Amino acid sequence: MGAHEHRPVELPGGPVNAEGQTVNEPLLGALMGAAINGCTPCVDRLLEEVAADPACAVRLVEVSRLTGLRLNHGELPGFMTDDDDVSGPAAPEFKRLVRAVTAAEPVTEVCEQMTAADRRAAAGYAIELLVGQLTLANSIGFDDEETLAQMCCAISALLVEWWLSTAPMARREFTEAWEQYVFGHRAAGLPGNGVNALALVLGAVLHHQARQDRVSVQEVRTLVFTRVLPVLQEPEQVGAILSAFVAPPDTDDVTVPVKRFARSNRDFLAELCTFAQRTITMHLKDCPHGLREQDHACTLAHRGPALDNSAGAQVAASPSAGGRRVALPRIGYREDEPVEDAPAGYGADHTWQINTDRILLQRWDADIARWNETISEESSISEPNYQHETGLETLACPACGSRGPFLAEGRWGDPLTLHCRCGVTIMSPLDAPPDDLGRRLLKRLIWCEADPAYAARRLMPPLTRYREREHQARASSWYRGPLDEDIALAEAIDLSGDDLIEALAAVLKPRMPERHGGHTLTLLLLQVLEALSAPAVRDTADGRELADAVRGLVTDLKTENERWAPTREPVVDRLRAWRAEGGPQVWQDAWLRTLEMADRHFARNRVGDGRITDGCAAVALAQYLLAREADTGVDQITIDDVRSLMPPGGADRNAAEIPRQWGARLQALGHDLDDTDDAVTRTWRHLCTESALTRGFEALLGERSCYRIHFRNT
């Protein structure tokens, strides 16, 4: 090998950079080989060529920067970025490009704006530093342990996901805010639904706080993450932190577009800062260690167990002097305010101690809601398998998972204190508002202890409200009978026996203590079943009244369903029944063609108010009339021919005249309008009733019709 020939050393990155520009890899390989061999003449000559090619100069800086990160546990030394740092001799031009890479600026464009001499200085320092870094790495190796930046990004992702999972309305608000910038997102190439972007911004601020507090990777769980709240109130400061944040390289697909979009759109950055504040505030509010402490400084160590638990259990990290306490899980749970004041005969200072086998709660499930939303947006799913978002479940101890027994303690109106047999105390915050879940739950437990019949009495108001809403709906023009789910449930309940509990259990098949999903009536009857299963409740006057009310409601729903049963019949089934009544061949052909059209347009429709079925019958009759009068087959009749039978001004203006005209034409064809054995005239007489012909015709073929029916051959 000649004195000026060096084995090339390939640099990572590929032949094209992130901005789509070609990188001269052979040139960089030759330069790297010469530099490793210490050949100054070749290095000087090749650096001149690199300086003339901005893409090559940038690649050298990028590789040097990444190597520095691997040698310095994910952090960039000050001498590589800070112009005021005197710990190293880095060229200012090199630092400028490193900062541009970190900030996700269009670094090649920045490099192009530099003079050839500036690029030469940046490239010269980059190759010198890179050779030194590789020499050091060869002796001590690279550090592949998790970095502080990685830890902060992972922690922020957990914090954000916990918040969005336990606060469903927050997720909806965040999604709506994210969608305001949808066009900017697409232009910037931002992936996903925004959660990664929010986690990145929060991770950058947490990393900044960790470095200020000199928190190492090993000590990161002691980070007081609530101290970032003042920073998040200053979007400009957050923008500077985000720009300088050396994010983990494996997050580049999110980091680069987020940094670029945040730099160009300050409103977007301000939105992310607002949601990051709310994320931290929620964790501070729900930290178990803060239940009895004012201005508690919440740390990651406190939140760790809750974040690691997929169920979101609020478990304290360690015991305190007052015993181990956990927060009452309350996100998504609902408990109505008791309908009665405190039980009589007990003083305001009376402290209740109540043993309860289990506590039944109603809960809205955010995970199921997200699943339903996902499948509703999936166009490939023709029949989405939606699940019930609301369900009943028994309260589980956040520490051990036990669903009872518990010892409830407190006075009327106090926050709830609940003791589990595992030794953990489950508590509401002492400053909880009057409508707090724990306060209401304790009131319910107190009443059930003072008077077991209350378990039945408390269910009468929601049962009454349900029945009142059902009866109010029956007066509406849109009402077509009870809901399908309510009917299926009511029809399955056998009221012929004396044991209502057995009848309800056979249909509901309760899955408690596990979650049992359902709609309003299902959940109401599940609570009735739970209450009346206890003889101490069932055998009281209130228990018997509740049982009678349930029987009355179920009977009423069955009766109403029978009244509306004809409207629930599928449209196509009703039409097939009419065709099956017989008639001449042309009439059968007209029905067959109409059924083929209905199969395409109304396969999933039910009879409802009858307009669709009446309209289809009118279309069949119109085809029959036109085909007989023209002495041709119905396949020659077009939809426009059928539409021509509706006179100018629309069918509504001729509600009485059109049936008479059609009757006269039928008579001219030889039909006796009074013949009850004639299938054609039977259909005509049906269409004459209550303007069925004109209403149906207008629904299917009128100018304002939402249907665009057609025949296959038209």
534-558 pLDDT tens trace: 888 999 999 999 999 999 999 999 9
Q: 126 pLDDT exceeds 90?
A: no
Of 34, 33, 69, 31, nearest to 53 (Cα)? 31
The larger pLDDT score, comparing residue 226 to residue 679, is at 679
Average pLDDT over residues 168-184: 75
| Contact criterion met (CB below 8 Å) for 142 and 70 | yes
Q: What are phi and psi of 553, to 5 degrees?
A: -65, -45
| Residue 363: strand pairing partners | 333, 391
3-class secondary structure, 390 = strand
Give the type of residue at 376.
S
Average pLDDT over residues 26-49: 87
Q: What is the pLDDT of residue 698?
A: 84
Q: What is the pLDDT of residue 652?
A: 56
pTM of the model: 0.49
Specify the residue for token string 């000649």.
2
Q: 363 pLDDT exceeds 80?
A: yes
The larger pLDDT score, comparing residue 458 to residue 481, is at 458
Six token digits for residue 404: 């009872």
Q: What is the pLDDT of residue 668?
A: 93
Q: What is the pLDDT of residue 249?
A: 78
Average pLDDT over residues 684-692: 84
> Which CA distances in Å does 525 have to 441, 447, 462, 507, 532?
20, 21, 11, 10, 10
pLDDT in tens, 139-148: 666 666 788 8
Q: Can you spell out the DSSP letters for 426-491?
A: EE--TT--TT-HHHHHHHHHHHHHH-TTHHHHTTHHHHHHHHHHHHHHTTSTT--SS-HHHHHHHH
Of 308, 200, 295, 306, nearest to 255 (Cα)? 200
Q: 387 pLDDT exceeds 80?
A: yes
d(CA 196, CA 199): 5
d(CA 302, CA 222): 9
Exposed/middle/buried for 39, CB within 10 Å: 0-12, 13-18, 19+?
Answer: middle
| Contact criterion met (CB below 8 Å) for 525 and 463 | no
Six token digits for residue 590: 């007209």
Q: What is the pLDDT of residue 320?
A: 37
Q: What is the pLDDT of residue 302?
A: 66
Q: Given pLDDT bands bounded at 50, 70 and 90, which one contains residue 303?
A: low
Six token digits for residue 203: 């991770």
Average pLDDT over residues 497-521: 87
Q: 527 pLDDT exceeds 90?
A: yes
d(CA 676, CA 678): 6
Q: Report the range of poorest mean pLDDT among 49-58, 75-84, 238-247, 305-314.
A: 305-314
Q: Given pLDDT bands bounded at 50, 70 and 90, which one contains residue 360?
A: very high
The per-residue pLDDT of the chain, averaged, comes to 83
Q: What is the pLDDT of residue 447?
A: 94
Average pLDDT over residues 493-517: 87
Q: Report the range of poorest mean pLDDT among 187-201, 205-219, 252-266, 473-487.
A: 187-201
Of 674, 696, 567, nearest to 621 (Cα)? 696
Give me the percent of the chain exceeding a pLDDT of 70.
88
